[in-house]
């Protein structure tokens, strides 16, 4: 028996004895898995912008969250 077959058997056994809450969680996971990846839905220009932002970050051109939050702290308290 392959690992996949053994896993399938184990999951089926679990499902046969699971309560409704657990079944709903498994169902949600399976439904999400079938949905298209968010990245694949982005237009090319958005993917290009993300790629450029990552390159900028790699070059140390970005700002930390802490630095940004210090600058805009006044807006967070209102």
Task: Catalogue the long-range contacts made by 6-9 (C-beta closer than 8 Å, 24 or more residues apart).
Answer: none
pLDDT tens per residue across all 78 residues of the chain: 899 999 999 999 999 999 999 999 999 998 888 887 888 889 999 999 999 999 999 999 988 889 888 888 878 765
Cα–Cα–Cα angle for 27, 33, 37, nearest 5°?
A: 145
pLDDT at position 8, please? Answer: 93
Instruction: Check if the beta carbon of residue 27 is closer than 8 Å to that of residue 16.
Output: no
- 13-23 core/surface letters (b: 16 or more CB in 10 A; e: else): eeeeeeeeeee
pLDDT at position 34, please? Answer: 81
pTM for this predicted structure: 0.45
Cα–Cα–Cα angle for 63, 66, 72, nearest 5°?
A: 90
């Amino acid at each position: 028996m392959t690992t996949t077959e053994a896993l399938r058997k184990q999951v089926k056994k679990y499902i046969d004895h699971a309560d409704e809450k657990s079944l709903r969680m498994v169902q949600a996971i399976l439904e999400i898995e079938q949905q298209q990846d968010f990245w694949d839905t982005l237009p090319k220009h958005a993917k290009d912008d993300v790629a450029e932002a990552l390159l900028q970050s790699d070059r140390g051109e970005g700002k930390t969250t802490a630095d940004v939050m210090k600058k805009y702290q006044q807006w967070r308290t209102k």
